[in-house]
Each structure stands twice: as structure tokens, then as C-alpha cells.
Amino acid sequence: MSTVRVLVGTRKGAFVLTADGTRERWDVAGPHFGGWEIYHVKGSPADPDRLYASQSSSWFGQVIQRSRDGGKTWESVGNKFVYDGPVGTHLWYDGTPRPWEFARVWHLEPSPGDPDTVYAGIQDAALFRSNDGGQTWQELPGLRTHESASAWQPGAGGLCLHTILLDPTQPARMFIAISAAGVFRTDDAGKSWRPMNRGLRSEQIPDPTAEVGHCVHRIAMHRSRPRVLFMQKHWDVMRSDDAGESWREVSGNLPSDFGFPIDVHAHEPETIYVVPIKSDSEHYLPEGKLRVYRSRTGGNEWEPLTKGLPQRDCYVNVLRDAMAVDALEPCGVYFGTTGGQVYVSANAGDSWMPIVRDLPSVVSVEVQTLP
């Protein structure tokens, strides 16, 4: 029987949760790297026992950890992230120029074909790649030196490159998202980039329809249909059917279209999930109810999924990288909260149960489906 391994990053360490394909009884291992912020843990599709973790601390900076045995043991690898060439400036919160400065790694995206190749999205926003299993890191500077970059401004969490999507059908094509610059796409393996934000509208910026400057919280795709992208923006849930060339709003009947995560069902490319949050000034759930919303129509028509989730006095948040799906049948859906709960649905969202209730605040959740 297949097994699933859930990789959880929290404010105070990493946890590895495992279960068989029924997803009913769970083993919880951790904390790994106790006391450190773990922004992201992700496994290699090419070698599921190869994991990478971003470990950071305000005191001690950035560490990258690598496991070769599915998270049982770890070794620290390279943590030197040096921008390639003159760093230039972006805009600070007050509108003044500020030199690019490395703060942390938000997201690690292993290559689908080579366990030694992994991409890192960092703050201040840039894309790095390692071809030697994380020992050394090289920037793909075409993004940071894009002609619009001097006008990028950080979101509340910093100028972070938080999402990396690798197109499974075109190896040279990648999508990345930056708060608060927006979505960019490369078709030449990172040498050059184009903003992909046409159709986004953000009332909070001087030109609501600007080509860059949108606070994109996360984007997602189904690997069978990489031209279709879904986006949770600061406000608005969006969809693109042309690989990011244009976007249209699909918020529909959501109670709030503010939120952070968005993900796609493993087997149904038109089934998507979001967790609406009350507002950008109140980062908690509307009405004290933890509701995942599912659309089976690729947006616009949404249904609340509540069975097994608290429906009163619940005021947590679900961060942008804290939702994932497994590849089993029926599809499993997972998410972690800022209150330390990790929930699983083994039936595509129809009902939920907590795997753990009392972890540190959850930053990221990834799932591996193992034979």
C-alpha cells in the first residue's frame, strides 16, 4: 500500500508526519532543527528520499539542510547566497531606494528530473539554483535585474520570492511570484523574464492595473495542464488560461476573496481549494469558522468544506505555502494553521481530521506520495 509523508515547516522546527494510504493513523517525527524557523521543506520528485529544508533564524541567519533518507537524518549544506553582480536597489516601504539584501530562503523547489538540482526563492526577491545538491548556489540574475525591479516594493512579509512553478512540459519555462511585484515567467530557463500580471487589479496601488506591483500571494497549476494557472492574490482569486498572459477573476461566491494558499486537486484540474481570510488587516478566519472552499468548476462557484473543522471561535490563518495535495485516490488535501494544527482530508475535502493539533505555528506543508 502507498504511504504519504507530510513535511511541515513551523516557526520552531520541522516535523515529518507519515501514514499509510488510508491516512487515518499518523506517526509524528520531530521537531527537527528545534527552535529555528523552517520556512519550507520539500522532497525531490526524482528521489523522494532526498529532502531539502530552509532553516533560518534572526540570530544565526540561513542554513540549508538536506536529507538523503526521507528526513530521518539531515546534513547542513551550502548557505551562501550571493547576488550575481551589482545588487541595485528596489523601493523600501517609504518609497526610497534600498539595496537588495539577502534575508532568507522562502521556498525550495527541487527539479523533477535531478535530485541534485534545486531552486531557491529568496528575500530580497531573487531566484537561485543549485546543481550540486545544495552545496553551492548561483543566482539566475535575469529576474532581479529585470527593468521593472527598481520599482518593486516589499509586501508586509518582505520582498520575497515565495512561489516557483516548473512547467512539466517545457523545461525552460518557469513561473515565479513575488510579494509585492507579481508573477513573472521565463521561457529560456531563467535568462529573461516577463511580468505576467495583465488582468490583475489592485486598488491598493497607485495604478490599479499596473504591469508590476501586485501582491500575489500564491499561484498553482495542475501538471497535466500547465497553461492554466490559479492565483490567490492579496485580494481576489484569479485564473489564467494562457500561461499567465492574461488573468480573470474567479472569486465568485467566496465569503472573502482575501487569503494566502491556493492548490489544485491531484486528479481533477478544475477542482481548486482556497481558505478565505477575513481581510488584509485581520489575518484570521471570517466568523470564527475554519472553512476550506472548493470549486469544481475552476473558480466562480465555491462550496464550503466544514466537516471535521472547527466552526466557532477559530481565528487562525493558513499561510501561502501551508496547503498541499497528495496523489492518492481519492485525493488527499492537507493544510496547516498558524495555531499549530495540521489537517488532512482523505476524500478531497469532504471531511477533515487533525493529524496534530499543537505544533508551533505552521509556515509550510508539503506532501509526498510514496509507493
Partner 1 sequence: MIRVVLPAHLRTLARVDGEVKVDVPGPATPRAVLDALEAHYPMLRGTIRDQVTQQRRAFIRFFACAGDLSHEPVDAPLPEAVAAGHEPFLIVGAMAGG
What residues make contact with partner 1 under the rule CB under 8 A? 34-36, 57-63, 76, 79-80, 82
Shortest CA distance to 346 belongs to which of 305, 311, 317? 305
Q: How far is the CB of 114 from partner 1 (least distance, A)?
A: 24
Nearer Cβ to partner 1 (31/339): 31
Nearer Cβ to partner 1 (10/62): 62
Q: How far is the CB of 127 from partner 1 (least distance, A)?
A: 19
Q: How far is the CB of 10 from partner 1 (least distance, A)?
A: 16
Nearer Cβ to partner 1 (135/204): 135
14: left (phi over 0), alpha (psi -120 to 50) or beta: beta
CA atoms within 13 A on the CB side of 230: 26
Nearer Cβ to partner 1 (57/224): 57
Q: How far is the CB of 132 from partner 1 (least distance, A)?
A: 15
Q: Are 281 and 258 in contact (CB under 8 A)?
A: no
Q: How far is the CB of 125 from partner 1 (least distance, A)?
A: 19
Cα–Cα distance measured from residue 222 to residue 2, given in angstroms and rounded to the nearest whole number: 21
Q: How far is the CB of 111 from partner 1 (least distance, A)?
A: 24
Q: Are 282 and 251 in contact (CB under 8 A)?
A: no
Q: How far is the CB of 32 from partner 1 (least distance, A)?
A: 11
Nearer Cβ to partner 1 (76/209): 76
Shortest CA distance to 368 belongs to which of 323, 322, 326, 307? 326
Q: Are 244 and 306 in contact (CB under 8 A)?
A: no
Q: CA dist 259 to 3, 102, 138, 237, 318, Å?
A: 30, 26, 32, 9, 8
State the greatest distance between any 2 C-alpha atoms of the chain, in Å, as a whole number. 57
Nearer Cβ to partner 1 (34/171): 34
Nearer Cβ to partner 1 (1/59): 59
105: left (phi over 0), alpha (psi -120 to 50) or beta: beta
Q: Are 200 and 236 in contact (CB under 8 A)?
A: yes
Q: How far is the CB of 58 from partner 1 (least distance, A)?
A: 6
Q: Are 203 and 210 in contact (CB under 8 A)?
A: no
Scored b (16 or more CB within 10 A) or e, 87-112 reads bebbbeeeeeebebebbbbbbbbbbe
Nearer Cβ to partner 1 (99/112): 99
Q: Are 365 and 341 in contact (CB under 8 A)?
A: no
